[in-house]
Amino acid sequence: MLIESSGKELFRKYGIPTPEGYVVNDPKNIISVSRPMMIKAQVQVGGRGKAGGIRFGSTLEQVQKAAREILDLEISGKAVTSVLIEERLNVFREIYISMTMDRSRRQPILMIIKQGGMDVESTQEEQVKTWTIHPFIGLGDYIVREAAKHLQLDDSPTRQLSEILKRQWRLFWEMDCELVEMNPLVQTAEGKLVAADAKVVIDEDAAYRHPELDFREFDRTPLEQEAREKGLALVELEGDIGVLANGAGLTMATLDILSSFGARGKVFLDLGGTDDEKVVEQAMMLMSKAIPKVILVNIFGGITKCDTVADGILAARDGLSINIPIVVRIRGVNEEEARLRLEKAGIVAFHELGQACEKTASLLEEG
């Protein structure tokens, strides 16, 4: 997910009106204030308003004070390192508009709620209106007409809405977005429609098509970014166990079974399909950087051969001096050979996942 200021840069690129503003990470860099301004925390989480991350001021002193206080905040575990300073709109009405993927329909949808703003999550289902957008046809004029009718807009706002929706669709389609959200799209007292907020989520698998974007801005920890640069999928969590598995489904199942024994993942790494000992060794190195209390390796060998994984585990443990307890569950191609190598080196390799998870949880209790 892009931070709001970056989302608004894309909005402006596609001709969607936004308030005038700029980003600072030091209150001293705020320029003179001649009108009411908004001060907004730039973090990749929701709920900023309720957490005190959105404020306003009418003088330079007020804006600097608000920015200083916001920069001291931590919102949903994310430290605020920058704030967006932008003009405060003369709001007449707030509308929620988003375009996203509907997995059940397997197509993009347009979603509109008449009343947008901070409490949009509590909106009753009957107040939410959606339209399916055929990906090859695009946003049809009839959808725009129905949306304007649903919102009960006058002629001028209707024409503006038509342009905004068409530009929003172009942004969604051309930038490989998973979500383009305006909450709110403000109708000002002067009758203008302006995107007061911007939430843009881009499919990271399409990063190669958008070299102009800095995907490091996405919500990743330094370790997650390092793994990404090495072509590995790693996610940090809040538990104690490091989980290395091959395949997203197997990884999720491993975390679920661990939880049934009272253990939680601290980090998981999806090894995917590889038959390269060096990749396994690199994965173990990344895993150890997270400093879990126990590492659980769960491999179902097909493309990834079990003996290759065993060699990578041992090379990492011995070559990198990894002193973290390691539990292995291994099944598939060359599993007997792999099990013998591991057990010879002092690592018990289980046949059943439940046994491996139980052992992992017991080691956690002992440690």
Confidence class of residue 188 from pLDDT cuts 50, 70 and 90? very high
pLDDT for 170 equals: 96
Q: Residue 131: its pLDDT value, please? A: 95
Report the pLDDT value the prediction gives residue 36, as an integer from 0 to 100. 93
Tokens of 244: 């290395």
Rounded to an integer, the average pLDDT of 73-99 is 90
Instruction: State pLDDT tens for residues 232-279.
Output: 888 888 889 999 998 888 889 999 999 999 999 999 998 877 778 888
pLDDT digits (tens, 9 = 90+) for 350-365: 989 999 999 999 988 8
Residue 140 has pLDDT above 60, yes or no: yes
Residue by residue, DSSP assigns 130-141 as EEE--TTT-S-H
The amino acid at residue 93 is R
What is the distance between the alpha carbons of residues 111 and 99, in angstroms, rounded to a whole number? 6
pLDDT tens for residues 285-316? Answer: 998 998 999 999 998 877 778 888 899 999 98
Q: Are 118 and 49 in contact (CB under 8 A)?
A: yes
User: Is 77's pLDDT higher than 80?
Assistant: no
pLDDT at 217: 54
Average pLDDT, the chain: 89
- Domains identified in the chain and CATH numbers: 20-87 (3.30.1490.20), 91-209 (3.30.470.20), 222-366 (3.40.50.261)
Q: Cα torsion for 147, 149, 154, 157, to the nearest 10°?
A: 0
Q: Tokens representing 70? A: 């916001």
d(CA 187, CA 315): 62
**pLDDT for 122 beyond 80:** no
Pairwise pLDDT comparison (179 vs 320), residue with the higher score? 179
> Does pLDDT of 204 surpass 90?
no
pTM exceeds 0.85 for this model: no
- Compute how many other C-beta atoms are within 10 angstroms of the C-beta atom of residue 114: 15
C-beta of residue 93 within 8 angstroms of C-beta of residue 186: yes
Burial group, residue 352, by CB count within 10 angstroms (0-12, 13-18, 19+)? exposed
pLDDT for position 187: 94
259 closest CA partner among 241, 236, 244: 241
The span from the CA of 339 to the CA of 262, in Å, is 27
Percentage of the chain with pLDDT > 70?
A: 96
pLDDT at 301: 77
DSSP state of 88: P
Query: Lowest-pLDDT range, 199-213, 254-268, 326-340?
Result: 199-213
More confident of the two residues 228 and 193: 193
